[in-house]
Amino acid sequence: LPDVLTICANLTDVCSTVFCPTCTERGLCDTTCGFCSTSTTTTFTTTVSTTTKTTSTSHCYRVPDNIPVCSDLKDQCSEIFCTSCPKLGYCDTTCDICFSDYPTTTTTATTTRTTTTRTTTTTTSVTV
């Protein structure tokens, strides 16, 4: 604890008889007389958090119709021109068949946030 009296430095010769922890004037010159000590510890804690967002976009590729009558056969798309049908590739645009096996664009954005926390601990001990 800090000294209460401003003249403690001039009274060090009576510390053990006047200002000791069991004396009547205890607590008035504790720091100067060495009856207490103060230590301060400062700790820094750093926290890093990273957020990564990846977005993938497929490009749809439609093969142009190969026969001129596709618009007339649109009602036959699911039976004749589907992806598992024998005439796949003839009317892909009209039947809205899309192939996504083509290059995919991937975008990745990373955000890093660093937080530093300062903790100060003051410990006072009294010698009795």
Average pLDDT estimate for 54-67: 76
Rounded CA gap, 128 and 115, in Å? 42
Q: Using CB atoms within 10 A of its CB, is residue 111 exposed (0-12), middle (13-18) or buried (19+)? A: exposed
How many CB atoms lie under 10 A from the CB of residue 106? Answer: 9
In 1-128, which ranges are E strands? 36-58, 104-126
- Taking 80 as the threshold, does the pLDDT of residue 66 lie above it? yes
Please tell me the predicted confidence (pLDDT) of residue 100. 63
User: What span, in angstroms and rounded, lies between the C-alpha atoms of 42 and 120?
Assistant: 4
* pLDDT band with cut points at 50, 70 and 90 for residue 8: very high
Please identify which residue in the block is written with the tokens 């021109």: 81
pLDDT of residue 39: 63
Return the percentage of the chain with pLDDT > 70, whole number: 78
Cα 51 to Cα 46, 63, 111, 112, 128, distances in angstroms: 17, 39, 5, 6, 54
CA distance 91 to 21: 100
